Structure 1
Amino acid sequence: MKKKLRLSFNAPAVLTFTALCVIAQLISMLTHGESNRVLFSVYRASLLDPLTWVRCFTHVLGHAGWEHLLGNIMYILILGPMIEEKYGTATTAFIMAATALVIGIINMVFFPGVMLLGASGIVFAFILIASITIREDNTIPVTFILVAVLYLGQQIWQGLFSQDNVSQMAHIVGGAVGAVLGFLLGRAKQKRSPY
């Protein structure tokens, strides 16, 4: 008997995140961008306002438009399932939440006049994690070094010498969070492995 083809919800954390980003973009369209200001971006605000802390996580759901959203989601859909298969759904969700929180806090502390939104920090975290997902004990993959130098070096260069609306800080911090978590997760996985 032939088996029927069926859809597989293969990466729940990544697919749920993608759906939330699309919903946030639709809400932004319906509110003419007001929802981005209130919920889906992070900026310096009173620490006593509960929404300040919510925005530290939800700013990664908001995007400036469909092109911005699709650019980020494409990378997340390419890299995320591999990371989720390797580390699990809960860990992948933790990686995304931790990246969002660190970027949100750094933006509030060091860039008081900047309203930041978008998932590019998560993209860079995934890029760095993906470059070190397969490695041997006590080794640093050359691919990781090349990715770190090329991607993060490019962001530092652009941050110093270009005036655009792209937050190189989010890219750099996202990459740094991804590198740290990638090494920590790899080390923890190796300690649990019986081989």
Structure 2
Amino acid sequence: MKDETLSGRKNRPLKIKYNAPVILTYSILSICVLTFWSSGLLAKYFSSPAHVAFLNPYFYLRLISYIAGHGGWPHLIGNLMIILLVGPLLEEKYGSGKLLEMILITAVVTGLLNAFLFSTSLIGGSGIAFMLILLSSFSNIKSKEIPLTFIIIAILFIGSEVASTLKIDRISQFSHLAGGFIGAGYGFIRSGRRF
């Protein structure tokens, strides 16, 4: 009887599971936006607001939608490699609802800070990727302990972003730093520990 059950399992075809709904939905949406939207529509609907406009309904939409727009395939693939590697593990640990909350708050806070401090728009999920990187270092946090991996990641991450600000490029190190700090903050808050 036992052998029949085991052999029955072996013969069943493998199923594809939508294992991380928030991360996978974000990834598919980002791919669709880059595939089907023109650069003009990307700039209009999928870039963060360049200035504060609380009376404009598109202001609120763009505070979130910009994370689904990307400047090109290399930009998107770079972000998705990080998000698809780290995100499903975090979605399993924190749950889909909490991870979605973290992503939305990261997007809104980063977009608002950018609108208040700079006159340029953000595009892409780089802030989300770096939020997930720093948040992942909290996966084994214990009371009264800060993981050494978190300290090393934080030093490497902040150091590389500060060094990158000296280069002239189209990459927003601000969104990377903001996402990273929000991820670190969420890690401390969601761990439920007091240091």
1:157 Cα shift?
1.8
TM-score, normalization: structure 1? 0.91
Please state if 1:55 is matched with 2:62: yes
Correspondence for 1:178 among 183, 187, 193: 183
TM-score, normalization: structure 2? 0.91
Letter in 2 for 1:73: L
Tell me the equivalent position of 1:96. Answer: 103
- State the distance in 1 between where 2:179 and 2:52 align: 22
Correspondence for 1:147 among 150, 153, 160: 153
Query: Where does the alignment leave 5 or more consecutive residues of structure 2 unmatched?
Result: 1-7
Correspondence for 2:92 among 78, 85, 89: 85
| Structure 1 vs Structure 2 CA RMSD | 1.3
Runs of 4+ in 1 over 2 A off after TM superposition: none
Structure label with greater radius of gyration = 2
Is the contact between residue 25 and residue 63 of structure 1 (CA under 8 Å) also seen in structure 2? yes
Letter in 2 for 1:170: S
Tell me the equivalent position of 1:36. Answer: 42
- State the distance in 1 between where 2:31 and 2:100 align: 17
- State the distance in 1 between where 2:106 and 2:100 align: 10
1:46 Cα shift?
2.5
Deviation digits for residues 4-61 of structure 1 (CA, Å, limit 9, x no counterpart): 3101111000000001111111232xx2x01211110012152211001110111100
Is the contact between residue 46 and residue 62 of structure 2 (CA under 8 Å) also seen in structure 1? yes
- State the distance in 1 between where 2:86 and 2:157 align: 15
Correspondence for 1:23 among 15, 22, 32: 32
Same amino acid, percent of matched pairs: 34
- State the distance in 2 between where 1:19 and 1:75 align: 15
Query: Where does the alignment leave 5 or more consecutive residues of structure 1 unmatched?
Result: 191-195
Letter in 2 for 1:10: N
- State the distance in 2 between where 1:174 and 1:45 align: 20
Length, aligned pairs only: 184
Deviation digits for residues 72-93 of structure 1 (CA, Å, limit 9, x no counterpart): 0111000000100100001111
